[in-house]
Structure 1
Amino acid sequence: MRTRFILIQTSHAGNVGAAARAMKTMGFDELVLVAPRWANVLRREETIQRASGALDVLERARIVDTLDEALDGVTHLCATAMVPRDFGPPTRTPREHLGPLAAGDEQHVAFLFGSERFGMRNEDVYRCHVALSIPTDPAFGSLNLGAAIQVIAYEWRLALGGFGVRETTAPVLAADARAVAGMLEHWERSLVQIGFLDPEAPKKLMPRLQQLFNRAQPTPEEIHILRGIAKAMADAAGGGSYKTPSPVRDDPSP
C-alpha cells in the first residue's frame, strides 16, 4: 500500500532528517514537506546529519507550497493530533485504527504532521479521515516530531505485516540425555570425593540436580564445562588443596 508522510511548515531542519531516518527504518520513502521554514532544508547540514544514512529518502522528498499539492492522489488521510477537535474526525490510537486500515482496500495512505511550533491547524485536521493520538503519559504527553513519526511508522509497518527479526546466533542445541546422565555421574563422584555428598545416604540431592539440569537444558559445550568443574573439584580434594568437610547427609525434606 502506497504510503506518504507529510510535514507541514517544519521549523527545525534536524527534524526533517530525523523524519527521513524514522521512515527508512520502517521501509517508507515518500516524504513531502509543505512550506518548510527553509527552501533548502533538504540540503542543510543538520538535515543530512540527522538523516544518518537515509539520504535516499531526502533525495526523493518533495517540497510543495500548499497542503492541496501534498494530498494529490491520497485516498485516506490520517492526522496526528494529541488533542481531539470538537468538529473533527474520530480520534483513535494508531494500533486501533491502522490494523483495519491495512486490511482494507485503500490505495494511498498519508500521515499528516503539524508544525513543531503550533501543531496542526483545525482546518487541516478536519480534512482527515481520522486523528491518530499516540497514548502517552497525560502529565507529559508531547512527543517531538521525529519521535512521533517513528512511532507512527512502526505501528503502520506492524499493521502491514512487519519485518522479521534476523537471527544473530545459531540455534542452541541441548545436550542429549546420555550426556547429561554422564555429567551427573561425574558430579556425584566428585561431590562424594570433596565430602559434600554422603554416599551412604544420598537421599534426593542427585534427583534434584537431575531436574535442575533438565530445566536448564545445557548444551554439549556446557556439559563439557560442568565436567571440567567436577574434575577440578575432585583434583583439589585429592591433591590436598581443598579442605574436606565432614560428610553431610542430604536434607530428607522434599
Structure 2
Amino acid sequence: MVYFVGAGPGAADLITVRGAELLKKADLVIYAGSLVNPELLRYTKKSCKILNSAAMTLEQVAAAMVAAQEAGGLVVRLHTGDPSIYGAVREQMVLLDKQKIPYQVVAGVSSFCGAAASLKTEYTLPGVSQTVIISRMAGRTQVPPREEIAQLASHGATMVLFLSAGLLETLSSELQQGGCPPETPAAIVYKATWPDEKIVRTSVAKLASAATENGIEKTALILVGNFLGDGFDRSKLYDPSFTHGFRQAERS
C-alpha cells in the first residue's frame, strides 16, 4: 500500500497520529525535502529507506513507489501540510492507477491552519467574512484568468495566498486593483509553526517593504483581510437571545 500522508504545517508534533504511526511502519518514505520538517523522519525505523523528492521527477517518484510496493513494502509519500492543497498528488495517483497500485490519503494540518493558530485569529468572523479564498499569484505556473488576484480580491473575503512571497509588489498592486484599500490589514507568516517561525503584521500597501525589511523571500503565507482587525460581530451560536436545536433563548 502507498500512503499519501500530510506532514502538517511544520512542527514535528503537528502530524496526525495516523500519519506518525504510518511513518513508524514505513519501508520507504519519499518526502518533500524542500518543505517538510526533517525532524519528522525520526519517527521512521532504522531499516526504512528515505528519499528526498526535491531532486526527483514525477516519474522517478512513481517508479520508486511502485518498486517498493511490488517488493511488499509499505510506502509513505510525505507531503507538506495537507496533500490536497498544492500537493501535486493527483498526477502521482494517475500513475499509480495505471500500475494498479493501491493507495490511500491521510489528511494533514495545512499551513493555513497553522498560520491562523500562530496569529491567534479566526478567518471566518461574523460581520467581517464568512468565506476563505485560498489561492496563489500567477508565476511560472499560471492561474486561470477568472482566478487572478484582482478578481478574487473584489469579493472582500478573507484571503490566504500560497506561493506568492516572492511576488509581493505585484500582489499588492493586484489586491488594490481588486478593491482592497491600501490600509487593509495583512500578515506575512514565514514557516508557520516551525521553530524559526516569523510573523509580520502589515498592510496591503506595505507587503513588499515589510517582507524585505524582515528578510522574507519564500516559504511564507500571505494573509489578507479585515479578519486581522479588531472589529467583528458576536456569534449567534452562544448568544443568550438566540434559540437553536440545543438551547432555548433566555427570556429577558
Which TM-score applies when normalising by structure 2?
A: 0.26
Q: Which has the larger radius of gyration?
A: 1
Q: Which has the higher helix share?
A: 1
Q: Which has the higher strand share?
A: 2
